[in-house]
Amino acid sequence: MVPPGLILIVGGLIVPLLRGRVKSVFMMLLPVLAFWALLRMPHGEQWRIGFLGYDLILGRIDRLSMVFGYVFTIVTFMAILFGLKVEDDLQHVFALMYAGGALGVTFAGDFLTLYIFWELLAVSSTFLILARRTKESQAAALRYIMVHVVGGLLLLAGIVIFVQERGTLEVGQVGLDGPGGWLIFLGIGLNAAIPPLHAWLQDAYPEATVTGAVFLSAFTTKSAVYLMARTFPGTELLIWVGALMAVIPVFYGVLENDVRRVLAYSIISQGGFMITGIGIGSQEAINGAVSHAISSILYTALLFMSAGSVLHMTGRIKCTDLGGLYKTMPLTALFYMVGAASISAFPLFSGFVSKSMVISEAAHHHLVFPWLLLMFASATTFLYAGLKITVFTFFGRDLGIRTKEPPLNMLLAMGLTAFLCLFLGVYPKALYNILPYPVDYMPYTGAHVVGQLQLLLFGSLAFCLLILSGYYPSELRAINLDVDWFYRKGARLFYDATDRGLNRINRACDELLVKDLTGWLARWSEEPLSSLVRAYSRVTGRAAGGKSGIYVGEARPERNSLIPIGVPVILSILGLFCLYVLFVSSA
């Protein structure tokens, strides 16, 4: 057996060597082979390697890791199909390495292996942003990798402290009972886009390529959610962090003009439901968090595929630049609405099943305020990710944009993903069968269906009233400031301060040590007595002279006034001998 992550990583390195239809078939086969390897892997620890007295485990197979392995390989297949006609080996190679890194994180049984694949995630995803080859994408990629380097260093520092305290590299329950646990928590939380560590996501994802954004939407944050479920289940802090995480992006999503930035904020909001479930920590809550991660990966990928298709065919992605596309892109509009219904938790769609599991567990544990926040986030998601983009992009005012549907491979990818969103909503038992713990939950009860429909109708009514009254926030061509303002401006100020301060110190040291001291030592080796007198004159400001006959002027003395070279050599040898005697006597 071969680790499924390595299948994608090694296969990605082979892709540039192939051409034409052979390349397309090969890329489509890679996730199929990875999925086949998953099905053949027995539960337990696989691929154990000894290293410096520790055991490295490339495969830790249990129900939790298998769930994420299944959905990661499925969405990899869909994303590759979606971008099959992209003629850019850079994207193909790093997209496959990115997916392989996510699988590597999922099945890593020790922190060292985990860290290696964690860094592979950061590096490979950066190239999916750079691959767009615009000035904006280059700047976003630079900020993205700098943020993730900081996150990786936090994780590494936490791992070092954790291993020193526990004496083991095994990935397991960590907890927040020491500095190592807190550093690991912050490193994982940054990748999970936990506020206020979230601004990198909406800054970078909209600047990625059309295909790259689909991959990005599926792996980084969900790998972090998996790792949170593995290392911090039942941590009470996560309940409140997750509830706020679900609500805060809602306001930005309503204000944002860029369609893919709206969807980026929705990724953060949906992650809040998962983090809350992990914080509750019961088996039912963990099941809810994991099931919502599966649903979110699928419908978020579908939404980014639809938005990417619009960008690919029209070259536009701002709400103010779009409208009336249902006439020429009806299938794309239909697929987007399926994704919007799923993320909004409409009955018969996947989000209805998974999101309600987390909300029900919050109510069951009497977490009143987090429950209210989650309910608010659930209702308003339909407002900005469902109604807003659907109306402004595909319906709304017709700007006369006349295009056509995207290529067949893109339509097939969207159609298959939309089918899965519907299938899991209609037949949730297929989802329940692969969850980590036994499931005893019935989503389709009268009270639950009616209550959710009331929330959705309330959101629709609020949207219509705001539009008709003119109070709905205008879609402005503007940049909405988030917490990224602090590190954008703060980093510039820090750079300027260090550039001016440290470089000034560097220049002073260079002037003093390199030029003055080196020059003085060179002159001292030639004429030690004159050099000492000259140094004394410079420090005291007094002119040296007298009847000693030692030359102290600026002009070079005559050759016959120099002390023979043997004198400084003898003095140097005597000095070294004295140092040696002192060292031996002290030892």
Enter the tokens of residue 263: 């969807």
Q: What pLDDT score was predicted for residue 101?
A: 95
Rounded to the nearest integer, the mean pLDDT of the chain is 85
Q: What pLDDT score was predicted for residue 427?
A: 93
Q: What pLDDT score was predicted for residue 261?
A: 92
pTM to 2 decimal places: 0.82
pLDDT digits (tens, 9 = 90+) for 286-305: 999 999 999 999 999 999 99
Q: What pLDDT score was predicted for residue 485?
A: 74
The set of residues, in sequence order, having a beta carbon less than 8 Å from that of 68 and lying 6+ positions away, is 106, 222, 223, 226, 290, 293
Instruction: Say how many C-beta atoms besides its own lie within 10 A of residue 278's C-beta.
Output: 30
First to last CA, the chain: 59
pLDDT band at 538 (very low <50, low <70, confident <90, very high): low
pLDDT digits (tens, 9 = 90+) for 318-340: 888 888 888 899 999 999 999 99
Considering only residues 546 and 115, tell me which one the structure prediction assigns the higher pLDDT: 115
Q: How far apart are CA 154 and CA 346, in angstroms?
A: 39
Place of tokens 């990198």: 200
pLDDT digits (tens, 9 = 90+) for 115-158: 999 999 999 999 999 999 999 999 999 989 999 999 999 999 99
Q: How far apart are CA 80 and CA 27, in angstroms?
A: 7
Q: What are phi and psi of 329, to 5 degrees?
A: -130, 60
The full 3-state SS of 454-470, as one line of letters, equals: HHHHHHHHHHHHHHHHC
Q: What pLDDT score was predicted for residue 292?
A: 95
Q: What is the DSSP letter of 110?
A: B
pLDDT digits (tens, 9 = 90+) for 338-394: 999 999 999 999 999 999 999 999 999 999 999 999 999 988 888 888 888 888 888
Q: What pLDDT score was predicted for residue 370?
A: 93
With CA atoms as reference, report the closest residue to 293 among 32, 75, 71.
Answer: 71
CA distance to 133, 145, 179, 213, 218, per residue, from 130 (Å): 6, 11, 35, 12, 18
Is pLDDT of 521 > 90? no
Mean pLDDT confidence for 480-500: 74
Q: How far apart are CA 272 and CA 240, in angstroms?
A: 9
Is pLDDT of 43 > 50? yes
Helices 566-586 and 528-540, interaxial angle, to 10°?
80
Beta bridge partners of 60: 45
Is pLDDT of 232 > 90? yes
Is pLDDT of 555 > 50? no
